[in-house]
Amino acid sequence: MIARSAMLQGIGFGLGTGGGASRAAGPGIGHTGALLLVPEAACIRQDLLLLLLTVPGERVMRPAFGCHLDRLLFQPNDATLAGLAIHYVRQAVARFEPRIEIVGLDAGRPAGAGPDAEAGAGNLLEIVLSYRIRRSRTEDGLVLRVDLDAGGPP
């Protein structure tokens, strides 16, 4: 029988996306050689990142899995693009992540990166997702910055 606390955990993955706790991409291995487990909230957060950073068609056995943020690359960073980003994220989360409900979702240029900002800063799209975990009713958030010129997160 599996302990209840183990059922609310998932395998910890390094996504190679930077940040304070960055490590090599792939499953984490503990000092005993066992797979690292993370709490439910961290598991959902990494699953959301995987969902949003996966292009549909990229996964062999699940061709529909992913988010169409790739369609936004090399487009002008305006209100239409922000609206499309919100639509794509909302659609992907509704279809593939039943463990959460979206509390807030916004997209646009990062604060301080207006149209007259230094070169390159105006081509960052910031997606801010606030969500509530259905099981625990706790709220969390995720900020994803997409470099529209380079083809992905900076």
Q: Locate the domains of the chain by residue range.
A: 42-147
pLDDT category at 78 given cuts 50, 70, 90 is: very high
Provide the percentage of residues in the chain whose pLDDT is more than 90.
Answer: 60
pLDDT at 18: 45
The predicted model scores a pTM of: 0.77
pLDDT category at 67 given cuts 50, 70, 90 is: very high
pLDDT category at 32 given cuts 50, 70, 90 is: confident
**Inter-residue contact 141 to 131 (CB < 8 Å):** yes
Task: Domain 42-147: give its CATH code.
Answer: 3.10.450.40
Nearest alpha carbon to residue 41 among 14, 11, 65, 9: 9
